Copies of this chain bind each other. A is one copy, B any other.
Amino acid sequence: MDIGIGLIGFGTVGTGVVRILQNNADLIEGRLGRRLVLRKIADLDIKRDRGVPIQRDMLTTDAYEVIDDPTVDIVVELIGGIEPAKSFILRALELGKPVVTANKALLAQHGAEIFGKAAEKGIPLGFEASVGGGIPVLKALREGLVANNIEAILGILNGTSNYILTRMTEEGLDFKRALSQAQRLGYAEADPSLDVDGVDAAHKLTILASFAFGTWIDFKRVYVEGIRDISPLDIEFSREFGYRIKLLAIAKRDGGKIELRVHPTMIPEGHLLSQVQGVYNAIYIVGDSVGPTLFYGQGAGSAPTGSAVVSDLVDIVRQGRLLQLPSFAKDRPLKDIEDLRCPYYLRFTAVDRPGVLSKISGILGENDISIASVIQKGRTKRGAVPIVMMTHEAVERNIRRAIEEIDALDVIKDSTKLIRVEALGV
């Protein structure tokens, strides 16, 4: 018997789903033993030509016509945002219809409620497309690595930011120029804040970490820093130290606590993550049995995200009415960012005068921060020079206090720049 699919949202990803269901219908039927048939599509705009052949009467502007249609067996939500997406999903689950969604913002902020409803009703909810686009990373984490305690997740989860950092690294562009290049190519929105301020990556990290650690992560408690302040100077210095700068989303288990943070991070240039260029995503996952693994691919876009949505449809049909929700712990304490321990890159902007370096290193020493290496470059026009240091592992609280003290010195001409370092193995 055919499986009826209803689509809410006929944008980029929706069009990708329709194209796959049309072009690869026989292939998927051969693999699944059932045919996935598109029955109804809702979108506010039902006039625009998406370049895929669709019967006129399949389109509606009313999402509930899709959800309530008795020939629709599975509802696919692709409009994004909180409302009305949330109401649509809850309504479908109420009716006993499995749901597939790519909505990371919604799951990161209302995951407990939505998964709770799905579990209560015993209805499957697919969300592979919400993290990493076409990369089957949630499947890998929840099924392939199910035997593992997850020790760490380090992800390049936002293609827009990675594209901008790649252009800045390869061509020496500053942030603004790289951003407008990304906007021209359609890789960044007119308002790029969700992407470049790290919020989108934090949404995805929240979902990954919730399933990795079996506890609902409070999205608002993820420490988030974007890439707007990264300068070509920092990229140049990080290269001299043998590092690349990436916007990493990091989740780690540290004893009973969980560390969750999104920020520009220096990683060794020999590491696979630092080779991930342009709009690509990659997720590095370390399990206690499997060791380090990496999953790489296109993190966004019509066809790749469509691939993930359709894989969820197939899984739901194959596995029937099961919802594989692990037993979630109620409370798992999060680590405060001030308790973080890692090496730091520090760039001071100081007047070029004898004794400055000794003042700075004196304050660092008093704050229990030891220096691994220093680069001091020639004088700039304004008479201030950058002094760049890599520290050994230090505590963020101490780093912040030291920077506050140093920035108060009259020889310091600009606020000190800090980039956290991940000294990854392999």
Contact = CB atoms under 8 A, between A and B. Distances in A.
A272 B296 CA distance: 10
A280 B291 CA distance: 11
A294 B281 CA distance: 10
B295 A295 contact: yes
A54 interface: no
26 contacts: A16-B289, A20-B289, A27-B149, A30-B214, A32-B146, A128-B144, A134-B291, A135-B290, A136-B140, A139-B140, A140-B140, A143-B315, A145-B307, A146-B314, A147-B307, A148-B307, A282-B294, A289-B303, A291-B297, A293-B295, A293-B296, A294-B294, A294-B295, A295-B296, A296-B296, A318-B324
A289 B307 contact: yes
A71 interface: no
Q: Looking at A32, A214, A277, A296, which has the most chain B CB atoms within 10 Å of its CB?
A: A296
A134 B385 CA distance: 49
Given A20-B289, A145-B311, 18 more contacts: A30-B214, A31-B214, A134-B289, A134-B290, A139-B140, A139-B143, A146-B311, A147-B306, A147-B310, A275-B275, A277-B426, A289-B306, A290-B297, A291-B297, A292-B297, A292-B298, A293-B295, A295-B295
A340 interface: no
Interface string A264-294: 0000001010011100101000011111111
A426 B310 CA distance: 25
Contact of A291 (B30, B139, B304): B304
Contacts of A148: 24, 307
Contacts of A136: 139-140, 143-145
Contacts of A32: 146
A139 B146 contact: no
A291 B314 CA distance: 19
B304 A147 contact: no
Nearest to A314: B146
Given A30-B327, A134-B289, A289-B306, A143 B311 contact: yes
A351 interface: no
Interface residues of A, number: 58
B290 A304 contact: yes
Contacts of A24: 147-149, 288-289
Contact of A143 (B27, B149, B314): B314
A326 interface: yes
**Minimum-distance CB pairs A-B, first 3:** A136-B144, A147-B310, A134-B290
Contacts of A426: 277, 280
A319 interface: yes
A322 interface: yes
A28 interface: yes
A370 to B, nearest CB: 30
Identical copies in the complex: 2
Contacts of A33: 327
A277 B288 CA distance: 21
Given A214-B30, A291-B297, A318-B324, A311 B144 contact: yes
A135 B145 CA distance: 8
A242 to B, nearest CB: 15
A92 to B, nearest CB: 21
A271 to B, nearest CB: 9
B319 A307 contact: no
Interface string A344-386: 0000000000000000000000000000000000000000000
Contacts of A272: 272, 275-276, 296
A294 B296 contact: yes
Contacts of A30: 214, 326-327
A77 B327 CA distance: 30
